[in-house]
């Protein structure tokens, strides 16, 4: 185990190097550009033996990844925001063809207005595409998650997106522990594709037209396999913990045992919130944090069990649904809790769109308010757009 200093992007690129995929096809976009830039240096210096395909768009990047994966290769790419949006059509095709492609993604808001900073609108907009989604809180986790995700993807034939928060994680230098190359290779193992379009003995037609008589069954089978991802993830995360000493549950709980209230959030905000929890705990306030790490498939039972303990929960959404009913995490969490025996009062804070800073004082305010909700036993304001000028 080596300790090094790396940004989120460097950490993702380093994990890609140690994975040494057969094909990486990619297109630059701020703030994910560095990942493929660094990776193409590994290619140029012969540190990996990957075919690096510098395509002319993200649409072609994922299209080429689909081709490479159907051809039996271990395949990765990287993108962000508009790039993921341009891949949108092909996200479904990759998942429907059961191709374990992994995207190292940097979460950035979607245009318009154009903005290069963090929110989760890009991945949230792709959440029904059939890709596993992991949201990381820091560079260490981004590095570890990319390796874990690749293995889960290949075991389940479900593609994966591992994401970090634009600039907050992608460009911030952190202390990082990394495995040896051989350890990573041993952990992920040799990739044995279930099929290959280069198998000349058994020619097949991939991606055929599937009409009313079969499509539904095929989709149902895909959905069924998708729901098995959580189980595989739990096993692989355990194995990774044994190897690295770092364990990442699908849903993380922080100081929740005796907590009355909690924040439910994802990404880098969770790390900031932990600081706040520590401070409030010193004051004797019973607050905790639940962090959504795996968002697809949804760890439904875990969320139900975790949030069911509290009197009140503030969901923090870094994107909106435009449903006039809060962000996606809020909507889905409410759905999950609907038939829970014990359920908290639930409010939503939409925050940080377009990279708007979220700091300790913002999170303190959310804890203050959610404690108030718990005390009153009722919600005054269901959805708050946190810190928007002219709003409050």
Q: Which residues bind other proteins (CB under 8 A)?
A: 22-23, 25, 49-51, 53-57, 59-60, 63-73, 75, 89-90, 93, 197-200, 203-211, 214
Based on its alpha-carbon atoms, the radius of gyration of the chain, rounded to whole angstroms, reads 21
State which residue, 189 or 231, has the beta carbon closest to other proteins.
Answer: 189
Exposure pattern of 208-223 as b/e (b: 16+ CB <10 Å)?
eeeeeeeeeeeeeebe
- Secondary structure class of 122 (helix, strand, coil): helix
The residues, ordered by sequence, that sit 6+ positions from 339 with a Cβ below 8 Å of its Cβ are none
Short-list 8, 277, 306, CA closest to 139: 8
Report the alpha-carbon distance of residue 110 to residue 88 in Å, rounded: 13
Q: How far is the CB of 184 from other proteins (least distance, A)?
A: 17
Count of CB atoms situated within 10 Å of the CB of 249: 17
State which residue, 67 or 100, has the beta carbon closest to other proteins.
Answer: 67
Q: How far is the CB of 180 from other proteins (least distance, A)?
A: 21
State which residue, 196 or 227, has the beta carbon closest to other proteins.
Answer: 196
Report the alpha-carbon distance of residue 125 to residue 80 in Å, rounded: 12
**How many alpha carbons lie under 13 Å from residue 275 in its C-beta half-sphere?**
11
Q: How far is the CB of 71 from other proteins (least distance, A)?
A: 4
Q: How far is the CB of 35 from other proteins (least distance, A)?
A: 18
State which residue, 69 or 265, has the beta carbon closest to other proteins.
Answer: 69
State which residue, 219 or 235, has the beta carbon closest to other proteins.
Answer: 219
Q: How far is the CB of 304 from other proteins (least distance, A)?
A: 38
CA 255-261-265 angle, to 5 degrees, is 75
State which residue, 62 or 262, has the beta carbon closest to other proteins.
Answer: 62
Short-list 246, 237, 268, 114, CA closest to 178: 246
Report the alpha-carbon distance of residue 281 to residue 275 in Å, rounded: 10
Q: Parallel, antiparallel, or unpaired: how do β-strands 160-165 and 174-178 relate? A: unpaired
State which residue, 199 or 239, has the beta carbon closest to other proteins.
Answer: 199
- Residue 106 forms beta bridges with which residues? 80, 164
Report the alpha-carbon distance of residue 352 to residue 354 in Å, rounded: 6
Q: Parallel, antiparallel, or unpaired: how do β-strands 2-6 and 174-178 relate? A: antiparallel
Q: How far is the CB of 22 from other proteins (least distance, A)?
A: 4
- Residue 177 forms beta bridges with which residues? 3
State which residue, 21 or 326, has the beta carbon closest to other proteins.
Answer: 21
State which residue, 204 or 378, has the beta carbon closest to other proteins.
Answer: 204
State which residue, 56 or 257, has the beta carbon closest to other proteins.
Answer: 56
Report the alpha-carbon distance of residue 320 to residue 328 in Å, rounded: 6
Q: How far is the CB of 65 from other proteins (least distance, A)?
A: 6
Q: How far is the CB of 197 from other proteins (least distance, A)?
A: 4
**How many alpha carbons lie under 13 Å from residue 51 in its C-beta half-sphere?**
12
Q: How far is the CB of 113 from other proteins (least distance, A)?
A: 26
Short-list 79, 78, 81, 162, CA closest to 117: 81
Cα-Cα-Cα-Cα dihedral sign, residues 98, 102, 108, 110? negative
Q: How far is the CB of 37 from other proteins (least distance, A)?
A: 18
């Amino acid at each position: 185990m080596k300790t090094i200093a790396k940004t989120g992007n460097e950490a993702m690129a380093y994990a890609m190097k140690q994975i040494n995929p057969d094909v990486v096809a990619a297109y630059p976009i701020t703030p994910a550009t560095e990942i493929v830039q660094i990776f193409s240096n590994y290619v140029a210096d012969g540190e990996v033996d990957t075919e690096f395909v510098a395509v002319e768009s993200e649409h072609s990047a994922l299209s080429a990844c689909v081709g490479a994966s159907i051809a039996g290769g271990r395949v990765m790419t990287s993108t962000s925001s508009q790039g993921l949006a341009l891949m949108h059509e092909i996200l479904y095709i990759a998942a429907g063809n059961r191709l374990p492609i992994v995207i190292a993604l940097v979460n950035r808001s979607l245009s318009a207005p154009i903005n290069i900073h963090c929110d989760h609108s890009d991945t949230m907009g792709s959440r029904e595409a059939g890709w596993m989604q992991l949201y990381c809180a820091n560079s260490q986790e981004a590095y570890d998650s990319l390796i874990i995700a690749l293995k889960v993807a290949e075991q389940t034939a479900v593609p994966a997106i591992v994401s970090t928060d634009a600039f907050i994680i992608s460009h911030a230098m952190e202390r990082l522990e990394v495995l040896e190359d051989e350890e990573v290779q041993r952990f992920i193992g040799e990739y044995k594709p279930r099929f290959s379009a280069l198998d000349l003995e058994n020619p097949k037609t991939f991606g055929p037209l599937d009409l009313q008589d079969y499509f539904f069954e095929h989709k149902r089978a895909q959905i069924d396999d998708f729901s098995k991802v959580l189980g595989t993830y739990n096993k692989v995360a355990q194995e990774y913990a044994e190897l690295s000493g770092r364990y990442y549950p699908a849903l993380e709980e922080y100081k929740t045992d005796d907590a009355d209230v909690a924040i439910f959030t994802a990404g880098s905000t969770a790390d900031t919130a932990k600081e706040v929890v520590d401070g409030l705990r010193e004051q004797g306030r019973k607050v905790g944090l639940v962090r959504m790490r795996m968002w697809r498939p949804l760890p439904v039972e875990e969320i139900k069990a975790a949030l069911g303990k509290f009197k009140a929960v503030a969901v923090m959404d870094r994107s909106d649904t435009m449903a006039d009913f809060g962000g996606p995490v809020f909507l889905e969490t409410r759905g999950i809790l609907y038939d829970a025996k014990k359920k908290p009062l639930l409010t939503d804070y939409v925050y940080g769109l377009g990279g708007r800073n979220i700091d300790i004082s913002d999170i303190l305010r959310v804890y203050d308010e959610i404690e108030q909700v718990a005390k009153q036993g009722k919600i005054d304001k269901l959805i708050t757009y946190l810190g928007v000028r002219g709003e409050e």
